Structure 1
Amino acid sequence: MGGFHSLQGRYVTIKSSLTPKNLLARCKPWILSPLVGALGGGCAQLLGWPLPWMIGALVSVAALRCLGCLTSPMPYGIKVGQWIIATGIGLHFNQTVLEQILGHLGLVLVGTLLTVFTCVIGIILHRHYGESFATAYFASMPGGASEMVNLGRPHGAELQHVAASHSLRMMLVLVGIPSVYTWLFAGEQAIIAPLSNPDVGWLVLLFVCGGLVALVFQHWRLPNAWQLGALLVSSLFSINFNLHISLPDGAGEVGQWLLGSSLGCHFERSFFRRAPAFMLRTLLATVAAVFLVVPIALLMSWISSLDMRTLVLGMVPGGIAEMSLIAEALGLLVPLVTAMQVLRLLLVLFLAEPVFRFWQSCLREK
């Protein structure tokens, strides 16, 4: 009888441990992110969304976290996603495209500088409603969230507001721009032809070299090390050896899924409840900046004969991978978008803090 009761007790213990709640508790805290992201990406593809595996994954994981399940990003998800996507983006570079970009380099630089100046809208708006100059400045700069938080920390910026502002801007641009482009330019002719079939030997070499360079960049603490390292190697090889190859079918979708599932973990209910007036001002400043980009792109297109749709994507305050993927999906000039986004990132990283110090000293003198 004692043995029977012992077995019965073990059965009850095992049965109680197999409830959904206990199973979730035993899982790794990140396990739901890729699973829900894959489900969201698949549904988005069935619904015909643009960039379905990135946007669908991002929205579904963000919705899960807003429902109270605070799952965390998959380990190395962002790095691997950036590694795959940046390698694919770099394959769009070739000698002809490089000559075209270099031929209009001065114009591209001026256009990129003008779009950086659109951040003044956000600075003025936040300052008008009482935010400190440091918070308003670093929350409005069109750079990455982690980089602006690091730059704003020693100057007393409110770091939660800075991080929230950049996360919201990224989500708005990533979700809104592809939908608007798909609606406005449906049926428009693609500028570039699709790349040819993949070459396993070259791709293995590109991924290995790109990973090694990314590790060096990471050791040097450069921002977006895995994205910039893979992009640098892939584009240099593609230009010098005139590769004209592509990633295998499905590889780009895997990269989008990894990136979208990780980016969705930036959002939860407290994010949207945090300083709603501040978030609304960020929304208005982002929309205003995008609208200001359009006439600049039209003027640049008229001067240079470059495609206006491509120029807009290169100048909107989005990320390198995100805007380049939109260009790729629409058949636009991916290298031009990538070059403009990288150039803006470098300008912001190198100039943001010196300009802040100069501007702050001018305000003190007044």
Structure 2
Amino acid sequence: MFIFDRHMFITLCIGLLGAIIFQFLHIPMPWMLGAITAVLIVQLSTSVQLKWHRFFRNFGLVVAGYSIGFAFTPEAVRDIQLFLGSIIVLNVLFILLFFAVSYVVAKRTDLDFATALTCCVPGGMSQIVAFAEEQKDMDIAVITFFQILRVLLIVSFVPLLVAGSGGQSTMIAGTYTWHVAGMLALCGLAGWLAQKIKIPTSYLLGPILFLMGINMVGVDVPQLPGSLLHIAQLMIGIYIGLLLKKEDLHLSKRHIFYAFVSAGLFIGAAYGLTFAMTSLYSLDFRTGFLSIVPGGLDQMGIIAASVHANVTIVTAFQLFRVLVVSVFLVPFVKLFVKKAKT
């Protein structure tokens, strides 16, 4: 158990202030982007001690998982089958891009290829940073910066790119009831159990899988109040804003430049592939882009739910990428690093 102390309260107030300012300025997804921006500015430019407990981030993920799992009806799951070929092809393309970007980063910086691979894995940030910490001869600061910068750029710019691009209206308009509270508690339990059995992004995937099962057997699932999704965005936004620390900026200009370049290449490739995908299927731009961009299942899921994209399709694409990264890319990088040492 944790204590909600003064530092957490200050952090919450800063994130909330940023969200209010962004909402006043009519910036898309103000509750997440405003919180990220405000916390990031204070963290990098002042000596104020900011603190946030993982519990709040997990609560935000449970709410996001609920909103995504709610959309996984039997009809939606059948629709996903139409995209299986594209899911496989797009992930193969991103794997090829991953190797190409890693090669360029290794050639243009003083990083060895193993470290460049670790820097450029498109997803699985937590796994990659944890793996890098176990290695004694890897520059953990550079790897952390590359991974965090990609997440920050994607989460910051993607809502701006998809805002106003059309799409389905799936506004969550439920009310606060004991039924909702009970379902949320069960989703939290599902997240906890998923964590115990080592499922990636457990507090998001646990509720999604739980509500998918509930939907498949025909049990009624109540809609979430829209304000609860705003709270979830705030909780996750503050957490993301705290990822980048002052010490992460003490890198060479070349490392910082190529961190931006690698992230830009992934985002640019996703942007271009979106047009191909939307021409093949009757998808709106925001659904296609959020499905392809390598921003992580948790972030893209909550953005999809917030901008009214087709969350089932977005989640299917991002979930497959999580599996590819976890089952193929991360073990490959570990094996390559082990071979490089021998």
Provide TM-score, normalisation by structure 1: 0.82
Partner of 2:252: 275
Contact 1:77 1:258 in 2 (8 A): yes
Partner of 2:153: 172
Per mean C-alpha deviation after superposition, the further-off stretch among 126-135 and 191-200 is: 191-200
Partner of 2:115: 135
Contact 1:119 1:142 in 2 (8 A): yes
1:68 is aligned to 2:47:
yes
- Identity in percent: 21
Contact 1:108 1:340 in 2 (8 A): yes
Per mean C-alpha deviation after superposition, the further-off stretch among 87-96 and 195-204 is: 195-204
Separation in 1, partners of 2:78, 2:297: 21
Separation in 2, partners of 1:327, 1:220: 27
- Give a deviation string over 1:64-93, Cα, whole Å, max 9, x none: 111221312135121111112221222122
The offset of 1:278, in angstroms, is 1.2
Letter in 1 for 2:233: Q
Partner of 1:16: none
Separation in 2, partners of 1:358, 1:151: 12
Partner of 1:39: 17
1:319 is aligned to 2:311:
no
Letter in 1 for 2:89: V
The 3 A distance-change label for structure 1 pair 268 and 150 is closer
Separation in 2, partners of 1:329, 1:30: 25
Per mean C-alpha deviation after superposition, the further-off stretch among 306-315 and 329-338 is: 306-315
Separation in 2, partners of 1:323, 1:143: 12
Partner of 1:21: none
Task: State which of 105, 108, 111 in structure 2 corresponds to 1:126.
Answer: 105
The offset of 1:360, in angstroms, is 6.2
Separation in 2, partners of 1:50, 1:240: 36
CA RMSD in angstroms, aligned pairs only: 2.7
Per mean C-alpha deviation after superposition, the further-off stretch among 154-163 and 89-98 is: 154-163
Separation in 1, partners of 2:270, 2:321: 13
Q: Secondary structure at the match of 1:29?
A: helix
The 3 A distance-change label for structure 1 pair 53 and 86 is same
Partner of 1:5: none
Contact 2:166 2:286 in 1 (8 A): no
1:149 is aligned to 2:126:
no
Separation in 2, partners of 1:167, 1:361: 24
Partner of 2:93: 114
Q: Secondary structure at the match of 1:332?
A: coil
Task: State which of 193, 201, 206 in structure 2 corresponds to 1:229.
Answer: 206
The offset of 1:242, in angstroms, is 6.9
The 3 A distance-change label for structure 1 pair 233 and 285 is same
- Give a deviation string over 1:105-152, Cα, whole Å, max 9, x none: 122222233224322243123201120222211110012322112233
Separation in 2, partners of 1:131, 1:121: 15
Per mean C-alpha deviation after superposition, the further-off stretch among 57-66 and 202-211 is: 202-211
Letter in 2 for 1:215: W
Contact 2:114 2:340 in 1 (8 A): no
Letter in 1 for 2:20: G
Q: Secondary structure at the match of 1:278?
A: helix
Consecutive unaligned residues in structure 1, runs of 5 or more: 1-26
Partner of 1:348: 325
1:209 is aligned to 2:197:
no
Contact 1:197 1:246 in 2 (8 A): yes
The offset of 1:201, in angstroms, is 5.0
Task: State which of 257, 267, 292 in structure 1 corresponds to 2:269.
Answer: 292
Q: Secondary structure at the match of 1:111?
A: helix
Structure 1 or 2, whichever has the larger Rg, is 1
Separation in 2, partners of 1:167, 1:357: 20
Per mean C-alpha deviation after superposition, the further-off stretch among 226-235 and 149-158 is: 149-158
Separation in 1, partners of 2:36, 2:103: 30
The 3 A distance-change label for structure 1 pair 353 and 251 is closer
Letter in 2 for 1:161: V
- Give a deviation string over 1:285-340, Cα, whole Å, max 9, x none: 11111222233333333334444431221111212232223323332211111111
Contact 1:297 1:312 in 2 (8 A): yes
1:264 is aligned to 2:241:
yes
The offset of 1:103, in angstroms, is 2.5
The offset of 1:192, in angstroms, is 4.2
The offset of 1:355, in angstroms, is 2.6
Letter in 2 for 1:136: A
Contact 1:54 1:260 in 2 (8 A): yes
The 3 A distance-change label for structure 1 pair 358 and 77 is closer
Separation in 2, partners of 1:301, 1:211: 35
Separation in 2, partners of 1:57, 1:290: 22
Q: How many residues align?
A: 336
- Give a deviation string over 1:152-179, Cα, whole Å, max 9, x none: 3455432222222111111111111111
